[in-house]
Chain A
Amino acid sequence: MEDAAVKKAPTAAVLCAPGTNRDADVSFALEQAGARPMTYLMSDIISQSSCIDDVDIVVIAGGFSYADALGAGRLFAVELEASIGERITAAIKDRRPVIGICNGFQTLVRMGILPGAEQSGALGHNDSGVFDCRWIEMAPTSDKCIWTQHLTENIVCPIAHGEGRFTSTDSTLNKLIENDQVALRYVNGNPNGSIYDIAGICDDSGVVLGLMPHPENHVVARQHPKFHRGVSGGMGLALFEEGVRYARN
């Protein structure tokens, strides 16, 4: 019985570069959501480029890949592009869910997967000029994004980044809005100065989500910052459950 359930669990490849550090957190969230996460280091990915071919979900975890020494996510993007860029494109084409969180989002943007072809977006230094860790609230706003389309509740979860200010050209922003690619928007305060209060966007196909906040750090009830004030949480889990459910079908 248990074996069958495990077999049915979609697999998720969690891609890590040296300096990725939220891989364990997102793996825990994926497990809680019913997936079977497997971690791949950049050295594994280079030596075994077929590693994502058979997985159901592709995850680029948060952290400071290559110390963000040349800008957030830039080298991770170059390395992924060079090693499995085409295979990631193939996964998207197969409509396998892809998610990049924080550094993973920055990486997807640098790879050009987000916002997408002929669009131009970037993640710049926070308005404050410094790294900021605080709890925020974001609302799911896209019917296209397979990670958020069925979410009914806002997600309260932490941010922890220095370069999270989403910016784009006016034409790209208009396209993102028209095209329903704005997947998550900050509500009750914009922590970093992102345009249009954007916390996360999806690609044109809807299967790729990139977001700055960390829903993986709010997947059990007592992680809610107002747990002691009688609020029960865990709402970050729903987002991962959506991705897992989509992968399963």
Chain B
Amino acid sequence: MGVVALLSSKDVHRLEVQSVGKDPRAQIFLQDAYDLGLVALCEINIVDVYFIHGDLSSENRAVLEDILVEPLLQQASWGLTTMPCDHFVETALHAGVTDAASQQLRRIAARLGISIDAVTTAKRFDITGKVDSCELDLLVRKLLANPVIEYWSVDAPLVPVMPIGAGASLNSVQVVQLAADATDAQLQELNAERGLALDIEELRAIRDHYCGRGVRDIELESIAQTWSEHCAHKTFRASIATDSGEVVESLINQLRETTRTIDAPFVVSSFVGNAGVISFVEGTTIALKCETHNHPSAVEPFGGANTGVGGVIRDVLGASHLPIACTNILCFGPPDTNGSNLPDGVFHPRRIRAGVVAGIADYGNKIGLPTVAGAVLYDPGYTANPLVYAGCIGVAHGEYVAATPRPGDRVVVLGGRTGRDGLRGATFSSMTMDATTGDVAGASVQIGDPIIEKLLIDVLGRGQHLFRAITDCGAGGLSSAIGEMAEGVGASVELSELPLKYPGLSPWEIWLSEAQERMVVAVSDVEPLKEVCRVYGVECTDIGEFTGDGRLVVHHQGDVVFDIDTHFLHNGRPQRQMTAIMPAPHRREMSRNEFESVFGEVDIVLSLEQLLQHPNISSKEAIIHRYDHEIRGATLVRPLVGAQQDGHADGVVLAEPLDTHGIAIGIGVNPWFGEKDPERMALSAVDEAIRNVVAVGADPDKVALLDNFSWGDPRRQTTLGQLAAAVQGCCAAALAHAAPFVSGKDSLNNEYFGSDGEQHSVPPTLVITAVAHVPDANVTVTPDIKEPQNVLIVLGHTFCEFGASHLAKVKNLSYSGVVPDADATAPSRYRALHRAIRNGLIRSCHDVSEGGIAVAVAEMAIGGRLGVDMTVCENATDAQWLFSESNGRFIVEVAPVHVAEVLSLFAEASCILGIVTEKSVLKFSDKHVVSVTDLCNLWKTQQ
């Protein structure tokens, strides 16, 4: 860990702070311990510990104590106190992991003239209850600490490791000898030794490029980063031969070609740079991006999700837009997973969920952006490999120009300091995980600092005229950011200029570091930008020049340590040649007789109750409340709506308080369809995302899409076939709706070798994000039903489509028929619905998806705390009609006076479902009646 001093405890002042009354956080730990099966625990008490190294007078101590202790709530003591408990555990963050508390304590001490050399913050957990040493170890590793970011001591005081001294780098470059005739075996050995995660063809290309000249470590690492699946999207760019003899030149080109064919006037920039850019209103552009942070979230849920949010916000900043909102889609193992059956090295799904949600909340809430839209999915396939999708939307005013650096511009790094954070993050995320991943990947996961990024946003907002081009530092760090910007221009930089978090970094580590909260800008005049940075307290470092000679040259203390032809770096990678076996999904539609024989007797009320309790459908309120969705005052259709503000909206609408228009965001995702029929999954996910934005009032002719694929290992031919089929579905659906894709991302190799020796893969998970224009911000719609006597009408066609449906899930059926197909009549229906909404005919509107019409009407009733009498509808006792998950459908609420008009507008497919009643019961028939309160309680029991 570079130059760090290990200090004996007598050199260090130890301040303990704990709650006077019950610490509300302790109860949460205790509950989590129960979930781990440690039911013998009676009490966990939390003590915050500050190790302060410095020559402190008693006055100094008093001042610090005054800052750190709120006497009404907390008590403090200097030195080690002993509490009556059975065990105690002390944990602290590894040196170099972001620790805002210690940074702030050092800063404020300096401000107040108190001399402190170093601070380490720690936590002590006093544990009461009968636990043996095995259980204690489990408690520590699975709950109280995470070896990836923390160290600890059990039943003994922690000895803090404190980094001291300024950050000087090491001038050490290793040269890797790569013989011109190195064999494949030798190349593979190098591959494994350095964790490069490259294909053999790529290793050969490097060998041939260097022709026996030595390769510097920093060059080799840069190539591996640039060519990683994460950065280069090798599978999406591969030439794929399918088993039917077809050759697909590249999946990404299919998506691009589709966008070109649609040729939507509102697309400004697609599939270029950090984010897609669209414009619905003249003079304003919107940037949109969604990213995944799956592997980091598996090994360090809080940090992984936390930095995932930070990263996608920087993508939007890197597209020269200021962020306005965040989204997230989370996939976990089932909350009731038996903890004792977990593969080695895997956290319990509840622990992962708690960490991920806290990580997203921490970043979004602190940076000051509303976290507005999302989804939470549960499946055993995500237990070992959770998925975390983080999205961000930004706006910019004026004409959008994707600028590139000019020769002579300075290379300036803004924001956080550089450390060993996230080294090899890009190659890490391109590797399959195994039981040791959590240990070896230590450096690959980090914790974010949202305040620094908030200040970066402010600097970029105020100083946007002060730089020419901008890129974020994401996977691959400076190597990828400067590498991208220098493409075609060339750059020369000096690494020793960069401020470091701690000493001892080698040049390759600085160059590849994925330290968070940094941006690279190309600037012609650095001084004015420095002045803005000074005001906000953001570090701004000039490290070199864009040269114009096309070469990328990196120096360290004056020596050239890296000199690469950017053409080789960016274009030298041989295209991957892959083969795929295309899926052959079951496509024969189920007859009514077959439905009855497969599903047997379907008890409508019981099935509805089971569906509402299913974790995929049940209330997500507990998670949504953790996110600030109100900041900026622009969240017009909120994630939580209705009479008690606990119903779930289909999409959300954002509109600045005084704007006449807004944007809607909708999500479509259904991995269970993907397991059975990936092409139809894509058709359905696109349709669902568009339904969700149309339902809240967006114009179906102004919808832009993002695609995010999380898949298993694409080198398995059937897995690649599923991916190719899903891309075909995406393209077909985009064309049908004339909704172009503007950006996307793929995360492959979401697989895990369990200790059982079996390979676990996530279900093929395509997330579609739709961002659409809401022409009138005063005319938006929510799904909660509004008023007794109003009439509910189902729009769209219902087919016998139960493949991978949730009814099949609650009935534990593996075969359940076909996955829903696209409905060719849907686009015109969406336009008609939009006109009806604009004309004020629609009081509420809900899209029909998981659990079908029955679940949709129940959700509308729960949202409005009203009832529905469906005895007028002859289909209301037909299980096939009530639970099918066919695409293209909505339920709308219409005032009695407008019923005839609405029915005529949708003559091709509409059916009266029922009448809204004051009495809050769902009445399917005289025999099938259920109270909305009961349904609501069932819907809220999970969480």
B-binding residues in A (CB < 8 A)? 18-19, 21-22, 24-25, 28, 41, 43-44, 63-64, 66-67, 69-71, 74-75, 78-79, 82, 110, 120-122, 124-135, 158, 160, 167-169, 214, 216-220, 222-223, 225-230
The reply to whether A160 and B101 form a contact with Cβ atoms under 8 Å apart is no
Contact indicator B627/A133 (Cβ below 8 Å): yes
Are B451 and A66 within 8 A (Cβ)?
Answer: yes
Q: Is the CB of B780 within 8 A of A71?
A: no
A21-B366, A41-B535, A230-B786 are known contacts. Are A67 and B100 too (CB-CB below 8 A)?
Answer: yes
CB closest residue in chain A, given B633: A217
Known: A43-B536, A66-B100, A160-B630. 10 other contacts (CB 8 A): A18-B537, A22-B368, A43-B534, A69-B103, A74-B70, A78-B108, A133-B365, A133-B627, A158-B630, A160-B365
Query: Is the Cβ of B73 less than 8 Å from the Cβ of A124?
Result: yes
Give Cα A174–Cα B642 distance, bound, in whole angstroms.
38
A-B contact pairs, 6 of them (CB 8 A): A67-B450, A78-B112, A82-B111, A131-B628, A160-B628, A218-B633
List chain B residues, Cβ under 8 A from A227: 636
Residues of A within 8 A of B640 (CB): 134
- Do most interface residues of chain A lie in helix, strand or loop, or is the interface mixed? mixed
Contacts of B108 in A (CB 8 A): 70, 75, 78-79
Interface centre among B454, B637, B642, B657 (most CB of A within 10 A): B657
B49 within 8 A of A: no
Return chain A residues, CB-CB under 8 Å to B780.
228
- Contact status B641-A129, CB under 8 Å: no
Stretch in B24-32, B271-279, B482-490 with 4+ CB within 8 Å of A? B24-32
| A-B Cβ contacts below 8 A, count | 157
B residues 765-788 touching A (CB-CB < 8 Å) = 777-778, 780-782, 784, 786
Residue of B nearest to A106 (CB): B70
| B105 and A70 form a contact (CB under 8 A) | yes
Flag whether B691 is at the interface (Cβ < 8 A): no
Given contacts A75-B104, A167-B72, A225-B641, contact A133 B24 (CB under 8 A): no
Contact A130 B28 (CB under 8 A): yes
Residues of B within 8 A of A127 (CB): 24
**Contact among A43, A75, A134, A219 with B537 in the assembled complex (CB-CB below 8 Å):** A43
B625 at the interface (CB under 8 A from A): yes
A43 touches B535 (CB 8 A): yes
Chain B residue nearest in CB terms to A127: B24
Is B368 in contact with A21, judged by CB distance below 8 angstroms? yes
Q: Which residues of A contact B71 (CB under 8 A)?
A: 120
- A21: contacting residue among B28, B111, B367, B626, CB under 8 A: B367
**Most chain-A Cβ atoms within 10 A of its Cβ — which of B23, B366, B454, B633?**
B633
Closest to A158 in B: B630
User: B273 → chain A, closest Cβ, in Å?
Assistant: 27
| A121–B367 alpha-carbon span in the complex (Å) | 28
Instruction: Report the minimum CB–CB distance from B484 to chain A (whole Å).
Output: 29
Q: Are B103 and A134 in contact (CB under 8 A)?
A: no
> Does A64 contact B366, Cβ atoms closer than 8 Å?
yes
B85-100 CB mask vs A (1 if < 8 Å, else 0) is 0000000000000001
By a CB distance below 8 angstroms, the chain A residues around B630 are: 133, 158, 160, 214, 217
Interface of B toward A, CB cutoff 8 Å: 23-25, 27-28, 67-68, 70-73, 100-101, 103-105, 108, 111-112, 358, 361, 365-368, 449-451, 454-455, 534-537, 625-633, 636-638, 640-643, 645, 657-658, 777-778, 780-782, 784, 786, 844, 864
Closest-CB distance, B689 to chain A (whole angstroms) = 21
Minimum CB–CB distance for A76 against chain B, Å: 11
**Once bound together, how far apart are the Cα atoms of A218 and B27, in whole Å?**
34
Residues A122 and B73 in contact, CB atoms below 8 Å apart: yes
Lowest 7 A-B CB distances belong to which pairs?
A: A21-B368, A129-B24, A69-B100, A122-B72, A158-B630, A69-B104, A160-B628
Q: Are B72 and A169 in contact (CB under 8 A)?
A: yes
Q: Please measure, in the bound complex, the distance between the C-alpha atom of A230 and the C-alpha atom of B71, giving whole angstroms.
A: 47
Known interface pairs A69-B100, A132-B626; A219-B451 also in contact (CB < 8 Å): no
- Residues in B neighbouring A131, C-beta threshold 8 A: 361, 365, 626, 628
- The reply to whether A70 and B104 contact each other, CB–CB distance below 8 Å, is yes
Complex Cα distance, B72 from A168, in Å, reads 7
Distance (whole angstroms) from the CB of A73 to the closest CB of chain B: 10
CB-contact partner of A228 in B454, B632, B641, under 8 A = B641
A133–B626 Cα distance when bound, in Å, is 6
Rounded to whole angstroms, the CA-CA distance of A28 and B657 in the bound complex is 9
In the complex, the answer to whether A125 meets B365 with C-beta atoms within 8 Å is no
Considering the chains assembled together, what is the distance between the CA atoms of A74 and B780 in angstroms? 41
What is the chain A residue whose CB lies nearest that of B72?
A: A122
CB closest chain-A residue, reference B777: A222
CB-CB under 8 A for A66 and B104, given A121-B72, A132-B626, A219-B633: yes
Among B68, B73, B112, B451, the residue within 8 A (CB) of A19 is B451
A75 / chain B contacts, CB cutoff of 8 Å: 67, 104, 108
List, in ascending order, chain A residues with CB within 8 A of B536's CB.
Answer: 18, 41, 43
CA–CA, A18 to B449, complex, Å?
12
Residue from A19, A22, A128 whose CB has the most chain B CB atoms within 10 Å? A19
Residues from chain A with a CB closer than 8 A to the CB of B786 are 228-230
Q: Nearest Cβ distance between residue A243 and chain B, in whole angstroms?
A: 18
Q: Are A21 and B454 in contact (CB under 8 A)?
A: yes
Instruction: Provide the bound-state CA to CA distance between A110 and B112, in Å.
Output: 17
Q: Are A133 and B633 in contact (CB under 8 A)?
A: no
Complex contacts, B100 vs chain A, CB 8 Å: 66-67, 69
Contact B631 A22 (CB under 8 A): yes
| Residue in chain A with minimal CB distance to B638 | A225
CA distance A87 to B581 in the complex (A): 74
Q: A28-B633, A78-B67, A125-B23 are in contact. Are A70 and B454 (CB under 8 A)?
A: no
Bound-state Cα–Cα, A218 to B632, Å: 10
Closest to A68 in B: B366
Residues from chain A with a CB closer than 8 A to the CB of B784 are 228-229
In the complex where A135-B645, A222-B778 touch, is A21 in contact with B103 (Cβ < 8 A)? no
Q: What A residues does B25 contact at CB under 8 A?
A: 125, 129
**Is A217 within 8 A of B631, CB to CB?**
yes
Shortest C-beta distance, B101 to chain A (Å), equals: 4
Most interface-central of A70, A74, A124 (chain B CB within 10 A) = A70
- Chain A nearest CB from B792 CB (Å) reads 16
Residue with the greatest number of chain A CB neighbours at <10 A, chosen from B25, B365, B781: B365
- Distance (Å) between the CB of A49 and the closest chain B CB? 15
Q: How far is the CB of A187 from chain B (nearest CB, A)?
A: 15
Q: How far is the CB of A30 from chain B (nearest CB, A)?
A: 13
CB distance from A17 to the nearest CB of B (A): 9
Q: A69-B103, A78-B112 are known contacts. Are A133 and B368 too (CB-CB below 8 A)?
A: no
* Contact between chains at A120 and B72 (CB < 8 Å): yes
Could you tell me if B631 and A160 are in contact, using CB atoms closer than 8 angstroms?
A: yes
CB distance from A228 to the nearest CB of B (A): 4
* Nearest chain A residue, comparing its CB with the CB of B26: A129
B631 cross-chain contacts in A, Cβ below 8 A: 21-22, 25, 160, 217
Q: How far is the CB of B631 from chain A (nearest CB, A)?
A: 6
In the bound assembly, the distance between CA atoms of A200 and B447 in angstroms comes to 34
| Complex Cα gap A220–B73 (Å) | 37
- A67-B451, A70-B105 known; A132 vs B625 contact (CB < 8 Å): yes
Q: Compute how far the CA of A226 lies from the CA of B630 in the bound complex, rounded to whole angstroms.
A: 14
- B contact residues around A225 at 8 Å (CB): 638, 641, 645
Minimum distance in angstroms from A26 CB to a CB of chain B: 10
Given contacts A69-B103, A225-B645, are A79 and B657 in contact (CB under 8 A)?
no
A44→B626 contact, CB < 8 A: no
* Bound-complex Cα distance A75 to B358 (A): 23
Is B73 in contact with A25, judged by CB distance below 8 angstroms? no
Tell me how far the C-beta of A198 lies from the nearest C-beta in chain B, rounded to whole angstroms. Answer: 14
Bound complex: CA A64 to CA B367 (Å): 8
Contact A126 B24 (CB under 8 A): yes
